[in-house]
Amino acid sequence: MSTLKNASVTLTAQVILIPVGIINSVITARFLGLDGKGLFYAIMMNATLLSTLFSFGTAGINRNLAGRPETDRRALMGHNLSLLLIITVIALVISRLYRNIPIQFFQKYPPELWMLTFIGFPLLFMQMNFMGLFISLNRIHIYNGIRIFTALFQMLYNIVFLGLFHLGYATAAIGWCLSLLIVILFSFYRLRSYISLQGFDLKQSYAFFRFGFVICLSSIVNIISFQGTVYIVQYYLTPGDLGIYSIVKNISGFLYLVPTSVGVAALPNFAAQPIHEANRLLSKAVRTNAIVSFTAMVGLAFLAYFMVVPLYGQAFRPAVVPALIALPGVFLFGFAHITTPYYASAHKKPGVNTALSLLQAVLALCLGLLFVPRYGVVGAALTTTMTFTISIVVNFLVLRLYSGLGFVHFLPNSSDVSYLFNIFKSSMQKIRPGVR
């Protein structure tokens, strides 16, 4: 019960992010144009890839271990801070070496794009780690507050520097990096209340590395499976095509708010509950997610069909059809956002997530290499839907083996609708006193 209430509060908070996210997306599209939007998106996605490749599973370690009573949080924080130093050194080394790599791809984009990528890489790494700590410590209100602050800061920054001063994509990327830095400093300050910031235990750090190895592999494979089409588009197509595809990802990305909210709230409880209670929670979470996500998908399809051109401009009209193609696949993939913490926390089997992500990555790469060079952005959207559909079918078959729950346990019913309505009403009553 408390898990789904936390999820509804998180969802309500993240609903605030939808108009803010749309405004941010519209501002960057309108003032940067197709190429500028694509270059700005490339910086964020390249930094995301690097922070995942060199994460050593730290964000996953934080999410899964920080909330457990037996975890030495002092050693965990020391592990985080020492890795930040290592990641910073890696970013500096890569920034020096990439120019000597004889691959045309690196010459395809301007030098400032790569410089800003290497600046954002360690910042994004630490921001993700701190957010994972807040989730595991069940400080969901801080997690929500940080996300809202980041979105509002970027919106105001873009309004001023892009809207008023008409500066380019590099300025937008600097604002993104600045928001990450502010979040890191704030998180560091707040975490002092929950975790000692002094000390480093080499033995404990080695244990964290061992635990995080499988999680790291899963994260790497997962980003390839989830964002692989972005990098294929970036490699084969133009910055303008990447700008169009970024709008497709922006629109479909709003659909992740629902299952992400449920997964974030459920993760600490999956770890703390016995298996039969975790199964009950899983069933309820999937059913309620299906109801809200389907409603959101219909609304986003309406937005994609009727509002892309009025909001983003005529140049982004080619994003309409790919967005409509991608939405059903993203809707299905929401199921995985709930099963991922279930496998990792309830059954202590992060390797299951790795195997499922590996299947998905292979599908994404094979289908992406087949469709994107031939059909462009439409091929990327088709790759997304086909990949997610196949992987979710396999995920459900695996889930039956671990949970013993059949398909009927995940079918929504009228009581779920009533429950969601009551939870949402209760959440709004909690939020109103704070607003007043």
Residues whose CB is less than 8 angstroms from the CB of residue 226 and which lie 6 or more positions away in sequence, other chains included: 333, 360, 364
Report how far residue 116's alpha carbon sits from residue 55's, in angstroms, rounded to the nearest whole number: 19
- Please tell me the predicted confidence (pLDDT) of residue 283: 81
Q: Does the model's pTM come out above 0.75?
A: yes
- Please tell me the predicted confidence (pLDDT) of residue 145: 82
* Digit-coded pLDDT (tens) for 273-293: 677 777 777 888 888 878 888
- Please tell me the predicted confidence (pLDDT) of residue 163: 83
- Please tell me the predicted confidence (pLDDT) of residue 80: 76
Find the radius of gyration of the CA atoms of the chain: 21
Residues whose CB is less than 8 angstroms from the CB of residue 85 and which lie 6 or more positions away in sequence, other chains included: none
DSSP-derived secondary structure letter, 201: -
Do residues 265 and 67 touch, judged by C-beta distance below 8 A? no
- Please tell me the predicted confidence (pLDDT) of residue 190: 84
Do residues 36 and 44 touch, judged by C-beta distance below 8 A? no
Domain chopping of the chain, boundaries: 1-212, 221-426
- Please tell me the predicted confidence (pLDDT) of residue 243: 95
Q: Which of 257, 406, 259, 407 is nearest to 340 (CA)?
A: 259
Which residues in the chain come in under a pLDDT of 70?
1-15, 63-73, 101-104, 195-204, 214, 258-273, 344-347, 419-436
